[in-house]
Structures are given as C-alpha cells and as structure tokens.
Chain A
Amino acid sequence: MRRHLLLVSLLLLAIAGLALWRQSRLPRAIAITPTLTGQVEYCLTCHADLPEISQSHPVQTFGCVLCHGGEPLALDADLAHSTLRGGSNPSDLSVVEASCGGEKCHSGTPQVFRDHIQRVTTSVQATYAGAIAQVRYAFGAQPDLTARMGIYAIDGLTAFDPVQEISPAIQAFGLNCLFCHLSAQPMPSQEYDRWGGCAACHSPAPSRDDTTVHKLTTALPYTQCNKCHNRGNYSLADVQFHPRPDAPVDRLHDYYQPIAEFTRCEWTLDCADCHTRQEAMGDGHIYNNKKEIQYIRCRTCHGTLNSLPLTTTVSDPNDLALRMAFLDPVIDLKVGDTILVTDKGEPLWNIRVMPGIGNATPTYELFSKAAGQRFTFRPVMGSACQQDPDQQEARYCHECHATQR
C-alpha cells in the first residue's frame, strides 16, 4: 500500500511538473487592438516580424483580422488560420468584398474613387469577357464580338461554362487557355507565379521558398505585369498556349515578346507609368475587349504637332493625384502643381509640368512609379516631328521611333 502510494505520488509530481513546463512553453501573447475594430487580436504573437503591408494599411489601425479573417484570439496555428479569408490571399475575388470592401475602403462610390472592387470585378482582366467573346465568335458560338459571357456572371454577362459549349475548340479553350484572369490558378511553371484578385498586381508574387513578401503596393514594376503579359501567345489554330521561344537576359529583350514593336520610353518605363488605373482595373462598365478600355496613346503625354498634352492643376488637398502620390511617394507632389491628365480626366500624377520661362514650350518631368527614376521630356509641338495630328495610333509613331533589338 505504502509503495503504491509512493509510486502514484511520484507520478503525480512528475505530471504536475509536466503541466508547469507546458504552461511555461506557451508563447507570450502579443496583443494589438486596431483602432478600426476595437477588438483585441493576438496574431502578432507569431507574426511580429512581418513588415507592415503598406503605409496606407498600418497595422495599428487595421490589425490583421479585418482584412485576413481568422480567429483573433487563438494561439494555435491551425485554429487561428482555420477561418482565413481566401487562404493566404484575402484579395481573392471570391472573398474580396468581405476583405477589402466597405464604403470607406474599396467598395465606396466612384465619386470618391473608392469603387475599386466594382471596377475590378467588371474589368476584362477579371471577367476575361473579351477573350471569351473572341473565341466563341471565332468558333461560331456567337454572331459578333460583343461580350456576353464572363468567368463569372456579372452586370449582364452570364457565366462561361466550357462544358456547355458545343464546339470542341471552345471546350479546349476552357481547358487550355484560362490561366490569366484574376480568379485563375496560374500555369504551374514558376515564371507564371502570382496571386489572384487585387494581389495579382499589387503584391509581389508568392515565392516557392517561403520568403513571400507581405506587401501591397502601387509601385508596380513591369515584371509584375509580365507574370501574365508578354509570356507567349494563345493560338486559335490549336487552342493552346505557346510560351515565348526566346530566353531574354536583359530588360530590353525581357520587356516585350519578340513580335512586339515599341519605342524607347515603352521599355525604359514600366507599364504602370503610362497605363492608368481605369485601363488596368476597369471603370465599372463591361467592355467587349481590352482595346475598348485601353486609351492611353503617345499623344497623351507628348501631345501632337498642334496641341500640347492636357494638364490640370492640383487644387484640392484631397485630390486623387495627391492620394496616389501618397501611396507611392516617388514625387513630392503638392497643391498648386500642374500635372498631365488623360482624355478621360484621369490624373497622370507622376508627370508634372516643370516651371517654364515665358511662353517657351514646356518640359515635363516623369517619376517612374516602381524605381522612382526621374525622366524629363518635351512635347511634339515645336519639334521636328511631322506626324499628322489625326493619325496618332502608336503604329504611326513606331514608324520613326521603334527600338531595334
């Protein structure tokens, strides 16, 4: 009896020690109470070394859960992550409204430029409506090139379902060619790696060696766009994707695929230095193809023989241009500065008119969004260019200005 008692007492002591050890091994919880939610969360206990995702989403204001979901109080990784929205990508279009939406965030009104989600979800990058219309028209499933179907049903588009298509070619298109829209899983090879949803463009691609960067940015290098663009061609002949055949080693060759024609500024700058938010993210309306929404021309910045590019002077401290410059502070833009503006009134906030002397032709300074590099350029007006002001498509400019490679 006594030995029995001794044995069980020793075992109890041991297990009490084990319980103490277990308690001492629990992580010291790091709490934050983001001002927007007022609810304490402990995600930083494990994620303290994560850099802030962007200066417009400070962690003290947003915390983690507002965007990512998850269990704010759980210190067990499985439980904490079990309700993450969109896995590690809360901007996935299937959950984007819950993660990034809200009147004061990214599903507000167009008047205050907060309708990002409505714009993106109706854009050709997300619906792929242009490509679908093109292919269905090519293989006789619809009488014209009008967009009728999207990757999902939205704003008059019905959902494209390759299985319902009669033509085997359109079925093959569904199988072989739907890797680039914003909800698609990219092709398996590493050079195509990217996120979906907003993060497809605004976050660096997920890395395969666990060094993925926690970052949202508007400073997009061309390499971000090249995850989908300039990677090769979708062929209507065999309804297959054909990767570009070359192996570019420098930026000049990397930028565009071999068949492309372009000028110096088109490859020294990044895509986002010229192409605007509406072109990339849509304007909230359904378009039949990329061409319809893409409207930036050489003349947008350079003008024509008889007209200077359009400009606007920043007068409101809450001006969109200032907000954009805050997100990507490559330029010290301030109220009173004159910047270029597109035909549709979109500010080219990174291109400023330099103070001129008298009536001399103005000079413009451009700050590249990704690298922050400063370039200056002058308008066509007053130059030796003889291009007819009515013929302003890029191909006319390329006749003289195309880069040889």
Chain B
Amino acid sequence: MRPSFYQHLHPPTIPSAQARLRYTLGAGGMAVFLTLVVGLTGILVTFYYVPTPEQAAKSIQELTFLAPFGWLMRNLHYWSAQLLVLVVLLHLLRVVFTGAYLPPRRLNYLLGLSLLVICLFMDFTGYVLRWDEGVHWALVAGTNLVKSIPLIGPGLYTFLVGSSQPGATTLIRFYAWHLFGLTILLIGIGGWHLFRVRRDGGIAVPPPELRPDAARIPRSELVRREGLAMLWATLVLVGLSIAIPAPLAPSIQEAGTSASESLAPWFFLWVQELLKLGDPFTFGVLIPLGVLLLLALVPYFSPRRLSPVELGRWFPAGGRNIQILVGVLSGAILLLTLLALLALPH
C-alpha cells in the first residue's frame, strides 16, 4: 500500500531501540501536536477577542461565559499552551541528557532552543492579552525590565510598549506579536527544525555498525503510536479544561488598584523570585540571558569528550559536564519557582 500524505511526513523506518517512549519521551512529537492544538484553538478564540484595553477582558469573559463551548476553546488554548512549554522543556532536557546536541545536530539544537524562547514569549504575550488585574503586575514589571537595559532599554521599551506606559498601543502590539510576529517565527523556525531532524538523520543514534540492536520499526507503526499519543493527549487536555478553568480576573480598574496577588506567569516565576535579590537589570535581564547563553553553548562545550558511540541512551558518560551544568541550572530554576510559589499571600 502506498503511504498516505501523513505517513510521508515520517521516515520509512526508524531504529526501534530509539523509538521507545522511555528514550524520546515523545516530547518532540507531542510539542508538534500541542502547537497544532494551540494554533487551532487560537484561531477560534480570535473570533471573540477584542484587542482594546476597554474590551479585552470583557471579550474574554464573553467568550468564557456566553459563547457556546467558548470556555472549552479558551481552556484548551490555555492548557495546550501551558503543556507546550512543559513538553518543550522536557524535550530540551531529553536532548541534553542523551547528548543529542552533538554535531551534526548543533544547528538544530540552537533552532530548538530558539523555539523554546519563542514559546515563552508566545505564552507571555498571550498572558498579557488577558489585560485584567491578574496580569497587570506582570505587564508593568516585565516591560520595566526592558527599560532597565542600559543604552538600548528605553528605545526597546518604546518599541514594545509603544508609549511611555502600557496602554492601548501596548495591547495592540502584543496582540500583533502574538498573532503574527511570533507565530511567523514559530512556523518558520519550527518547520526548519523539523526539516533538520530529517536532514540530520532522525533521532540521534550511534553509527549503524555500532548499534547493539539493528531492529527497525516501519512508519506505519510510528504513525499508530503517534495517533495513540495524540488521543491520550487530547484526553488530558479536555480533562484539564473541564476540571481547571484558565485563570480570569476582573478588568483592570482605575490606575493604582492592581491586585496584590498578581504574579508572573508560572514559567517566569523564577525571574520574579530573582528580582527580589536586587538590581532589576542584573537579576531580571542579565542572569536569565546568561542562563540562555549557557544553554546555547551546550553543543560547544568540549564536544570531543562525548563520542557518537555513546548516543542513543540516557546520560552518556562523555556528556557528564553538560549534564551536571544543566542539572544544576534546572534545579536552581525549580527551587526559585518553588520559593516564589511558597511566598504567595495565601
């Protein structure tokens, strides 16, 4: 039987040892699926969303409470976006802890890392689009961080915010970034990333002559497994959307009445906690950028210590230095996030 279009998107066969869930975690494929769900539900919620400061929060309430299944669409959009960040992080950790960043996959590692950054900005802009009391603090604090950058800060702030303080111009710019700017980047770099996966030889494995297990699975099997994973993911997404509604808060009231419970979105809580330590530029901009830079340099840290023979399994000994570095960074970020959560007023 000739393969369908969908099957054609997959390689004819892949090594069965590395096709296992416990090796890939299915994170890359799941990220693609969640991106599709975010995109589709995003298109649907766009029909209701009104990007003006007066109407934004109201239009979301209208979508949530009055549009038939509007609550489900919005919750699916929210939950798929949150899970996407989680899954992308998981994918990054899988790549780092299996050494898959080795040449020839250096470029694709960097593409993947930039997709993580795009994802975070997508989530942050989406968070701000709520334009309600719950996001007020994050909006003001986030944009003020930009202002704290020496030399380019004020200019960059005006570029992002469009005015001397957040207002209608900010909302429409965030809206445009969310719908167009970041989406185009996501599709472009995402497509490039997927292309490079195939071009670089699929999942990172040892050279054929060094593989202990030569067995391969056909793409029909791969497609079946993907299908099942997508069904499970849909089940989880709908379940979460029914059980835990996406957060909503009252419209932004008169200036100065921002609710004290306002928080950064969960994936930036660690930055919020860092900011308590001192200077906003150092702790809010330099350190997060430093973390990103360290992650970007992962494929360049003494690559010769890790040999391709070690690929295809978790925690290869040659990549120990990188594993420790990323492990410590992840632990620190996790700890800061927990501290921020513990410091909540209730």
Asked if residues B231 and A15 are in contact (CB atoms below 8 Å), the reply is no
Question: A83 near B: Cβ within 8 Å?
Answer: yes
Option from A4, A71, A79 in Cβ contact (under 8 Å) with B228: A4
Q: What 1/0 mask marks residues of chain B from 228 to 263 whose CB sits below 8 Å from any chain A CB?
A: 100110110011011000001111010000000000
The verdict on A8 contacting B235 (CB below 8 Å), with A18-B242, A73-B61 known, is: yes
CA distance A74 to B253 in the complex (A): 15
Listed stretches B65-73, B100-108, B300-308, B327-335; interface member: B65-73
Asked if residues A1 and B248 are in contact (CB atoms below 8 Å), the reply is no
Asked if residues A1 and B239 are in contact (CB atoms below 8 Å), the reply is no
Identify whether the interface residues of B are mostly helix, strand, loop, or mixed.
helix
CA distance A351 to B171 in the complex (A): 60
Q: For the complex formed, measure the closest distance between the CB of A90 and the CB atoms of chain B, giving whole angstroms.
A: 15
Asked if residues A22 and B242 are in contact (CB atoms below 8 Å), the reply is yes
Asked if residues B231 and A73 are in contact (CB atoms below 8 Å), the reply is no
Option from B66, B235, B248, B251 in Cβ contact (under 8 Å) with A29: B66
Q: What 1/0 mask marks residues of chain A from 58 to 79 whose CB sits below 8 Å from any chain B CB?
A: 0000000000000111111001
Question: A11 near B: Cβ within 8 Å?
Answer: yes
Q: For the complex formed, measure the closest distance between the CB of A112 and the CB atoms of chain B, giving whole angstroms.
A: 28
- Residues of the A chain whose Cβ atoms lie less than 8 Å from the Cβ of B65: 26, 29, 42, 73-76
- Residues of the B chain whose Cβ atoms lie less than 8 Å from the Cβ of A11: 235
Asked if residues B231 and A12 are in contact (CB atoms below 8 Å), the reply is yes
CA distance A76 to B250 in the complex (A): 11
CA distance A393 to B198 in the complex (A): 103
CA distance A19 to B228 in the complex (A): 21
Q: For the complex formed, measure the closest distance between the CB of A180 and the CB atoms of chain B, giving whole angstroms.
A: 30
Question: B279 near A: Cβ within 8 Å?
Answer: no
Categorize the interface residue count of chain B. Answer: 20 to 34
Chain A interfacial residues counted at CB < 8 A: 25
Q: Which B211-233 residues have C-beta < 8 A from chain A?
A: 224, 228, 231-232
Q: For the complex formed, measure the closest distance between the CB of A50 and the CB atoms of chain B, giving whole angstroms.
A: 20
Q: What 1/0 mask marks residues of chain A from 27 to 47 whose CB sits below 8 Å from any chain B CB?
A: 001000000000000100000
- Residues of the A chain whose Cβ atoms lie less than 8 Å from the Cβ of B61: 71, 73-74, 79
CA distance A15 to B231 in the complex (A): 12
Asked if residues A1 and B231 are in contact (CB atoms below 8 Å), the reply is no
- Residues of the B chain whose Cβ atoms lie less than 8 Å from the Cβ of A72: 58
The verdict on A12 contacting B228 (CB below 8 Å), with A22-B242, A29-B65, A74-B65 known, is: no
Option from B235, B251, B253 in Cβ contact (under 8 Å) with A12: B235
Contacts A/B (CB < 8 Å), 6 sampled = A1-B228, A5-B228, A8-B232, A15-B235, A26-B71, A74-B250
